[in-house]
Structure 1
Amino acid sequence: MAYWLFKSEPDAFSIDDLANRPNQTEPWDGIRNYQARNFLRDDVKVGDQLFFYHSSCKDVGIVGVAEVVKAAYADDSQFNPESKYYDPKSSQDNPRWVMVDVQFKQKFKRILPLAKIKAMPQITELGLVKKGHRLSIMPVTESEWDSLYQAANAG
């Protein structure tokens, strides 16, 4: 099992949206960054755990946990000319973009804010705390997962 951090803008898709979906499961679609796509396609596996992170909002930070329940498959939005994620260079025979399905596991009582994450001395490898890292999907080491999970559930 591996650990990840997946970012979403809560006005587009939030932890509450995931919790309210049938079976609390939803495709994680719309990834249009090659490095993030490669993580999804090559590294993210069924059973992996992820922190759900709200970005581009008033209160940015980790808000809960989800689990990958379906491995990478073609993101259908790339084929739909009406979608904001449409990619005319992608084809059904050779899809350029993938998605995974995630399932809600836990919403934290309080958000673990980015400022607190950055202040944690044991969090050094997470792309979130490194200058210039803006990926929407990033790996989390097991030790950093444990520290962040504990901090999110403290108090």
Structure 2
Amino acid sequence: MRQSVTELQIDVGLSITVADDGDWIVKADGREFKLEEISDFYRAWLLLERPYPDVKAAFDQIALNVNVTIPFPFAKLIGSALKAKSGQWTDRAMTWVSFLTETEKASLKDLFIEARDSKWASQKSRQLARQYLNEIERSGQSG
């Protein structure tokens, strides 16, 4: 008998699941934190060390198992990592941006501008930020 998965382990004592009210939450050392604002997502950055398709599949399965209609907000996780102004987390987050919808990318426009113009982001991340900004401009979505 297959056990139905309802949470994704990120690290020891750290996991993401869905609360009874349908909100995505981080469980950290027995405490629960809602994932609502971009600033709430720093506890989930370790997910960025994994391949996006694996994490998306895991969250899709959890959403199915707990019958939640709100998909995991990947754009906010990526935005949180970009906001940190950390070269390491920006590099990791940038590898996930291509999986976002045009609307989700547009919602991160200001953070792409910061990364593009920054000294802390790697050259590769600055180039990706420039590329995503060009895509946003072409698609006519200005966030």
TM-score norm. by structure 1 comes to 0.30
User: Structure 1 or 2: larger strand share?
Assistant: 1
User: Looking at both structures, which has the greater relative contact order when contacts are Cα pairs under 8 Å and sequence separation is at least 6?
Assistant: 1
TM-score norm. by structure 2 comes to 0.32
